[in-house]
Structure 1
Amino acid sequence: MENKKNYYLTLFDSEKIFVQYLKIVFGCILFSISVNWFVIPVEMYNGGIYGLAQIIRTLLSRYTSIPLPTSFDISGVINLLLNIPLFYIAYRYISKQFFTKTMFCLLVQTILLSIIPIPTEPLLKDMLPNCLIGGVMAGYGLGLMLRSGGCSGGVDILGIYFLHNTNRITVGKISIAVNAVIYFICAFLFDLNIACYSVIYAGIISFTMDKTHYQNINMLCFIISKNKQLQYELTNVLGRGVTYWPGKGAYLDEDMIVNAVVISKYEVKELKKTVNLLDPDAFVFMNEGITVDGYYLKKL
């Protein structure tokens, strides 16, 4: 019985990892389409490190005689090179798993940015629809990467680093702060009108990314079960501390165990799968949006 349970838990972990990487690829596709179809054709600029890569590409194109590829935009490659120093932060201060997934995100993103064709003419004439559609697509794509345990590098790495150390700073907020500097440079060097629309685009990305990632939405979960091993399995699978105490079922006067755990909203599905696997008859109820004081590990 124990071997069978371990087999299903291993199978569950493998399925979870596969789904995470699938979401990362889908997020990279959304982000890359947003950039190549809605940003570059209207000469807008992204924020963060990728925006810096776009600025470098524009400066190289306008003020140097360095031959640049004409078949694709080299901003993705420059972005990959600029992220190399930030990989140390991901590896040293966050986690090896996050580092691996972030590397995967960046490699897939760089390839997609290089192969997805850029329209010769903007798909939408007006700037505002480009900001709205492109911003929602990019923000949702980046949010999926974060929910899956990785990110597109750059400012997101710094955001996740600060997320582990404070409850007040979200990935979206630090992105806005860094983007303010990037767009000031854009306005000074290039075009003020383009910089203003780029700010709108970045704001929509940050808002959508925070809503998709929802790393600040906490859930208080109570699981009432007869399984005496459930609390230990929840600790192993979720990496969360579980508080439990004995209880009694009033209807049949049966012995129960009441388990309490605080998780982030995106861990709910994982908790339900674990509970259903170990005790399908367990009673689970949750309270959303609680405030947590004291030590509580912020996860991706």
Structure 2
Amino acid sequence: MLRIVIIFLSSILLAIGYNWFLLPHKILSTGISGIAMMIGLLTPINTGIVNLLLNLPLFILGFLKLGKRLMTYTIFVVITNSIALILIPIQPLSTDPILSSVFGGVLVGVSSGLIFRFSASTGGFDIIGLLLTRKKDIPLGTLLFGMNAVIVFISGFLFSWDVALYTLLSIFITGKVIDAIHTRHLKLTLMIITNRGEEIREVLLSHSVRGITIVEGEGAYTKEKRKVLFMIITRHELGEVKRLITETDPRAFVNIMETVEVMGFFNKLKD
């Protein structure tokens, strides 16, 4: 219940960041939301309606490829955010575009970071990025940065290069705030010691694209045989993986370590 409440409030906060800080100055955000904002500024169609329509085909792909749980929360985020964009009036709280870029970026970053932290996403480019990184060994952060860079350049041609620079500033601040809250690009190594190794293996493989290595372990004091599972995940996946482990074996011992570097095909099953 707490997760739903936080995701709901974060989705509304996201809309406030758009309608009170960014849109009044034609400053765009990241991803599909940025494209929706652009269309909303150039046409009479409300940004919330465009945002929902652009995400609809991605919902279908996400359900097929990314799993029902993540996509259910993502659809809830997008629908809540789109309705809030329609209901909240577009009115500037500041006449200074730089201040609006900064505080708008902070609000978008805080709300997005909380949404990511509670195992959801804001849809759009997040879905595209996750789908592409499962097919190609491309860092998700690099991919999203490239797609967002296109939005910045388009905004420069359609509006002005001042607007493009304000957009770049807002996107940069949003990324930094998300990193501070969630650190989505961070890799983690999990060492799971459990009596239910096969059950945990099955449930993790059914909900994740990450490989798992299993070794036999023995308690130094009890001499009891146990399975030790090793897997590397992104920080974005940690909440869901912890939930799956706890539900399968509440007594499992899990050591979570930061990973400095990963070599090889991280995004593909190997073991």
Please report the TM-score for the alignment, with normalisation by the length of structure 1. Answer: 0.71
Cα shift at 1:246? 3.4
The percentage of aligned residue pairs carrying the same residue is: 29
Q: Please give the alpha-carbon distance, in whole angstroms, between the structure 2 residues aligned to 1:81 and 1:268.
A: 29
Q: Please give the alpha-carbon distance, in whole angstroms, between the structure 2 residues aligned to 1:100 and 1:273.
A: 17
The answer on 1:38 being equivalent to 2:21 is yes
Cα shift at 1:294? 5.0
Q: Please give the alpha-carbon distance, in whole angstroms, between the structure 2 residues aligned to 1:279 and 1:89.
A: 33
Q: Please give the alpha-carbon distance, in whole angstroms, between the structure 1 residues aligned to 2:231 and 2:122.
A: 28
Matching residue of 2:124: 154
Q: Please give the alpha-carbon distance, in whole angstroms, between the structure 2 residues aligned to 1:291 and 1:221.
A: 14
Of residues 215, 221, 230, the one that matches 2:190 is 221
Q: Is the alpha carbon distance of 1:46 and 1:283 closer, same or farther for their aligned partners in structure 2, counting shifts above 3 Å?
A: closer
Matching residue of 1:111: 83
Q: Is the alpha carbon distance of 1:191 and 1:138 closer, same or farther for their aligned partners in structure 2, counting shifts above 3 Å?
A: same
Larger radius of gyration, structure 1 or 2? 1
Cα shift at 1:107? 0.9
Any residues of structure 2 matched to 1:25-64 within 5 Å, and which? 25-61=8-44
Q: Secondary structure at the match of 2:90?
A: coil
Q: Please give the alpha-carbon distance, in whole angstroms, between the structure 1 residues aligned to 2:22 and 2:266.
A: 38
What residue identity is the alignment partner of 1:52?
I
Q: Please give the alpha-carbon distance, in whole angstroms, between the structure 2 residues aligned to 1:152 and 1:285.
A: 29
Of residues 193, 196, 205, the one that matches 2:174 is 205
Cα shift at 1:133? 2.2
Q: Please give the alpha-carbon distance, in whole angstroms, between the structure 2 residues aligned to 1:276 and 1:48.
A: 34
Cα shift at 1:130? 2.1
Q: Please give the alpha-carbon distance, in whole angstroms, between the structure 1 residues aligned to 2:36 and 2:239.
A: 37
Q: Please give the alpha-carbon distance, in whole angstroms, between the structure 1 residues aligned to 2:161 and 2:103.
A: 21
Cα shift at 1:277? 8.7
Q: Secondary structure at the match of 1:243?
A: strand
Q: Please give the alpha-carbon distance, in whole angstroms, between the structure 2 residues aligned to 1:165 and 1:58.
A: 34
The answer on 1:243 being equivalent to 2:226 is no
Matching residue of 2:99: 129
Please report the TM-score for the alignment, with normalisation by the length of structure 2. Answer: 0.77
What does the per-residue CA deviation read over 1:114-157, in whole Å, with 9 as the maximum and x for residues that have no partner? 223433xx323433332222212212322333444442222222
Q: Is the alpha carbon distance of 1:233 and 1:35 closer, same or farther for their aligned partners in structure 2, counting shifts above 3 Å?
A: same
Q: Secondary structure at the match of 2:27?
A: coil
Q: Please give the alpha-carbon distance, in whole angstroms, between the structure 2 residues aligned to 1:86 and 1:257.
A: 42
Matching residue of 2:147: 178
Matching residue of 1:234: 200
Structure 1 gap ranges (5+) = 1-17, 62-67, 69-73
What residue identity is the alignment partner of 1:204?
I
Q: Is the alpha carbon distance of 1:273 and 1:85 closer, same or farther for their aligned partners in structure 2, counting shifts above 3 Å?
A: closer
Matching residue of 1:13: none
Q: Secondary structure at the match of 1:57?
A: helix
Number of residue equivalences: 262
Matching residue of 1:6: none
What residue identity is the alignment partner of 1:29?
I
What's the C-alpha RMSD, in Å, of the aligned pairs? Answer: 3.4
Matching residue of 1:21: 4
